[in-house]
Amino acid sequence: MEHRTTRRNTALFIGFLLLGGIFHYFDPTENLFLNSFLFTGRFTVFAGLILFWIRSVRARLLPTRVRACMVAAGIMMLCLLAAQVFSTRIVGDAPDVLALQRFSKYLYWIPQTVSPALFLMACVRIRRGRQDGKGWDERWLLIPAALLSGMVLTNDLHHLVYRPKTNYPDLTIVTGRYAQGTAFYLLYAWMILAFLAGLILLFRETGRRPAKGIALLTGATLAWLFMLLMNMLVWDWLHVHQPYSTQEINIFGMLGILEVCIRNRLIPSNENHIGFFEQLGLPVMITDRALAPVYRTDRPVSASEAELRSSLEHPVYPREELRLSGMEIRAGYAFWTEDESELRRESRRLEDANEILREENSLIRKENELKEKKARLDAQNRIYDRIAEILYPRQKRIEKLLEEAEPGSEGFGGALGECCVLNAWCKRKSNLLLLDETALPKKNRELFLALQESARFLKCCGVEAAAVGEETTDFPLSDIHELYDTFEGVIESWLHALRRLTVSLTGAGIRMAVETDREMPLPETILPVEARSSEGTVFLTVHRRKEGAAE
């Protein structure tokens, strides 16, 4: 919608500008009524276009120094039109009012001198952007404009702008009766240099933007120059009346350049802010730096000045559940209010829901903890059941030996010794069963410690036993179980015939050196046992399994 309105306004502006040129083209007629009508129509159209542009600038731009310069330049354009009407239509070349005729020409120069200064001031401010407090003050550019204007107004004293020719002692600014002085060319040099400097600044600033901005600015500048060249060279050569005067071309050329700056967003603009705030649906207020409102929505922002200033640092609550926020913008401040009643209701609902979730999460966490504890207990129970199942036969045997042994009898000591040997195996076996394969170090002493403890308790049975040699092995836990169970099976089978025992570890299993009272057959064990006798000593070797087979 906003783009359609902008295109429509642009088309109407160009259409009325062409209409004013048509009025000017047909202006010099012999019919006085038609002549007056065309002149009045041209002046009305041009003045109306300038007033429309000034009004749109005030509506579209934020209250910055750029806007002030542009509005002042628009007013100078109107003054230039008025001075042109006063000089050409009211005073004219009447010889009986020479002083008034001269001063009308002098006044005609004032807006032509001040307008370039205002244009250059606006360009300097556009180039600086938000750097308001940096660099020299561009308002110093009004000084040369004021000096040049004063030089024109005091021309009767020094004749540096216009001077009478020798044949005409009284200065009459009529073609052929005066000559241009040095200050006349200085005025033109000032206007040209001011416009050129402003255009250079605009092109440098627009070069930072997308290529479309450069194209628009180049097109507007070329159109301005083209119309000036047509006016100075082509129309006179063709002997055709000009549709626009040079001053009118300068007026609307400068206006077109400034309009391009607005379209390229080189100037702080609030264009389409009304539609934006209407869609936003919040009470909004825009102020200048002094907190004077420059725009309000239909629903105003009601707050004191102190509350407005505080809201620039942090949100303020003028009333409960009404949040006032503010922020700095390029030309002032923007403030808006939000009704948080619904938000607070939803927050309370969310808090209630979060409380329920926290309670449920707490219950779930407790439930998971109980499940984890139960799982650990179940695992422990399974381990204990397995240990009890494996140890049960020997524990029953220990119980039977203790029941049958009578204190003081001949076999009581032997029975207690056998119980000690069996009990040592039960203790070490339960320790091994509690181990986990993943927690077992690669180099460990578990098998050696088990053999050492069994050898120590064999002394209770009158057997001289010892575990010697290397203590650490890298056997897996399954091999440790099988080797220890095989060792225990041999010891229990040969216990009553044993006299000496030396046990040691090898890289492949267990080696035992045994002295017995009599020759004993090898029992049936988990792993095969290799026996070799030499000089009354039996050497037993137990090999661990490798890749699923026993060696």
Domain ranges of the chain: 63-263, 273-339, 435-550
Q: Do 63-263 and 435-550 come out as alike in CATH topology?
A: no
Alpha-carbon distances of 413 from 351, 406, 488, rounded to whole Å? 77, 10, 20
Whole-number pLDDT of residue 247: 82
C-alpha to C-alpha distances, 65 to 62, 201, 483, nearest whole angstrom: 9, 17, 99
- What does the pLDDT profile of the chain (551 residues) look like in tens digits? 446 667 788 888 888 888 888 887 777 777 777 777 887 888 888 889 889 988 888 877 777 788 888 888 889 888 888 888 777 777 665 555 667 777 778 888 888 899 898 888 888 888 877 555 566 778 888 899 899 989 988 888 888 888 887 776 667 676 667 778 888 889 889 989 998 998 888 888 887 777 777 888 888 888 888 888 888 777 777 767 778 888 888 888 888 888 888 887 777 666 555 556 666 667 888 887 788 887 777 777 888 888 888 888 888 888 777 888 888 876 678 888 887 777 777 788 888 888 888 888 888 888 888 888 877 777 777 777 776 677 677 777 777 766 766 676 766 777 777 677 777 777 777 777 777 777 778 888 887 888 888 888 877 777 788 888 888 888 888 888 888 888 888 887 777 778 888 888 888 888 888 888 877 788 888 888 888 887 778 888 888 886 544 44
What is the distance between the alpha carbons of residues 535 and 57, in angstroms, rounded to a whole number?
A: 124
- Give the CA distances from residue 460 to residues 69, 449, 464, 494, 501, in Å, rounded to whole numbers and listed in that order: 116, 18, 9, 15, 13
Q: Enter the tokens of residue 98.
A: 């020479």
Cα 398 from Cα 419, distance rounded (Å): 5
Residue 17's H or E segment, with its range, is helix 2-25
Per-residue model confidence (pLDDT) at position 551: 40
CATH number of 63-263: 1.20.1070
Residue pair 509/541 in contact by the 8 Å Cβ criterion: yes
The Cα–Cα gap between 37 and 179 comes to 34
Q: DSSP for 127-174? A: HHTT-TTSS--GGGGHHHHHHHHHHHHTHHHH-SSEEE-TT--S---S
Q: Could you please state the CATH topology (level 3) that the domain comprising 435-550 is classified under.
A: Heat Shock Protein 90 (3.30.565)
